[in-house]
Chains A and B, each alone.
Chain A
């Protein structure tokens, strides 16, 4: 059974810092992994999608990497801004089922 864990659970940083969010999964037979952002009480905003054959994806200040063999993905946020404050969720789609298993999220606060 796929289990997804995110560390840290919460993070508070001053504006301008580069930071790394971690996502671990137990079953390496994944189809893809997606990083989402969620503002309080709001929906899911897709940030980056990494297919199982890919090693990383980049969008603006965001870079996500995937290491299937070790069951890990990281989301790197460069030059953080107060507007980046949100909960970040990673979700893993396991081969054969396609449903997403979500991690518990990292609650990020960027201080001005």
Chain B
């Protein structure tokens, strides 16, 4: 069965650079969630999209932006990178149907290292 695809899997950047993380949801899934997991921490919700519109927002820095495209893939753009942005970034997808939603399926994550 198809799973959530994230690219790249590993990314190394310098401070103050920009990074773009991509997420390709499971086919027919219309909702995408982004989570950030710092070293030794639990994953924290950043932002979610449903049908290309932002549906919820968590503790996402103003330096970060994200969007969902017409093919439902999503990109997380991170600018002015800081050392503290080094983390594992997970994308999850689900299918919203009416007032309910299917479970979230998580991708393998992108490990971002900021030097």
Contact = CB atoms under 8 A, between A and B. Distances in A.
A99 B42 contact: no
Interface residues of A, number: 22
Contact of B106 (A32, A41, A44): A44
Contact of A43 (B44, B56, B103, B107): B107
A43 B42 contact: no
Contacts of B108: 43
A99 B33 contact: yes
Interface stretch (A59-67, A76-84, A102-110): A102-110
B94 A98 contact: yes
B90 interface: yes
Contacts of B33: 98-100
A93 interface: yes
Contact of A89 (B42, B56, B88, B96): B42
A104 B104 CA distance: 19
B48 interface: yes
A104 B37 CA distance: 11
Interface of A: 31-32, 34, 36, 41-44, 46, 49, 89, 91, 93, 97-105
Interface of B: 31, 33, 35, 42-45, 48, 56, 58, 88, 90, 92, 94, 96, 100-101, 103-109, 111
Ranked 6 nearest A-B pairs via Cβ: A102-B42, A43-B108, A99-B45, A43-B109, A44-B106, A102-B43
